[in-house]
Amino acid sequence: MGDTNLTAILYKQGDLRLEDATVKEPGPGQVQLSMRDVGICGSDVHYWTHGAIGDFIVKAPMILGHEASAVVTKLGAGVTSLKVGDRVAIEPGVPCKCCKFCKKGRYNLCPDMSFCATPPIDGNLSRFYCHDADFCYKLPDHVSNEEGALLEPLSVGVHACTRAGVTLGSRVFICGAGPIGLVNLLTAKAKGAAEVIVTDIDASRLEFAKSLGADHIVLVTSRDPIDTANKVEAILGDKADITIECSGAPSSIRTAIFATAPGGCVVLVGLGPADVELPIVNAAVREVDIRGIFRYVNCYPTALAMIASGKVNVKPLVTHRFKLEQTLEAFEMAKQGKGVKIMINCEK
């Protein structure tokens, strides 16, 4: 097999292959990219191990990968915002730009969104890839390619904390110390949260959260959501102003509601079962808002500014590095839940 454009292709559940794909030319408004670093997301692993996430089902071979940075190698017709040689971070979703959601600025809700590595749209875990230039963000010289790739998960944190209303002095409770919980921790602190408390069932992940700036950590040892909520309240001295739920576990979502102060806000970031039983009357009579988020919108510039200014340091999140040729090994490690963020370098 040649290796002009080595590519990670998921054929079906459990069948991930490295193959040489055709190098595509950029269309109007697009750029051709020589890929640099691509992070493995939980969704990539889930498509590989389960073949679907909700209504998104792998029905045909699909290229994985959506947390990415690259170097511009060719310009499509009409592209003036970038030049060959520019290093960029890739926002993986390209909306239609015409529907009512796009026109209102909420393009993440666009019904015709083309999002990398979401069936049937190909991702960018390959040597070369073409993407809409409008959704490629030039990286300053002092921001690394890995940091550029990490703009994707960090943007989830920016969107969640914005939807939650995190501001100076907020007391924030984050459920789950996985990669998304950690970027929410970093974002909440950067936005001025006075105290951030993090829960998880894994002690090592909690210690990692502590090293990133968590003020308090709580190891969850009980399935009783009220018991965990009481522990959080005891440490903070009161209920949290804002809770950001990043695990998707039903008991944790219930804990989130019980642990949030009257008039506060719970943002649901983690995705678990389609149907979850909630203490909805408890939330309603205390006017606890429950909000969802879907990916992010207009967040990449903010995430980039946070990193470029030094307000947020995402470098410690990368715990393991692999070459593109080692993709299967990298995915096996991710499936085992090892490390925090696994990064694949696509350079030859």
Enumerate residues 6+ apart whose C-beta is below 8 A from 299: 155, 156, 158, 159, 162
Q: Which residue in 8, 145, 9 sits closest to 70, CA to CA?
A: 145
* Total residue length of the chain: 348
- C-alpha 154/C-alpha 160 separation (Å) is 10
- C-alpha 208/C-alpha 345 separation (Å) is 24
What is the pLDDT, as a whole number, of residue 304?
98
* Average pLDDT of the residues in 28-41: 98
- C-alpha 165/C-alpha 264 separation (Å) is 10
SS (H, E, C) 160-192: HHHHHCCCCCCEEEEECCCHHHHHHHHHHHHCC
Q: In angstroms, how far apart are the furthest CA atoms of the chain? A: 64
DSSP 117: T
Domains for the chain: give ranges and CATH numbers: 6-150+314-345 (3.90.180.10), 157-292 (3.40.50.720)
What is the band of 2 on the pLDDT scale with cuts at 50, 70, 90? Answer: low
- The pLDDT tens digits of the residues spanning 246-268 come to 999 999 999 999 999 999 999 99
Q: Which residue in 156, 166, 144 sits closest to 316, CA to CA?
A: 144
What is the pLDDT, as a whole number, of residue 277?
97
- The pLDDT tens digits of the residues spanning 117-142 come to 999 999 999 999 999 999 999 999 99
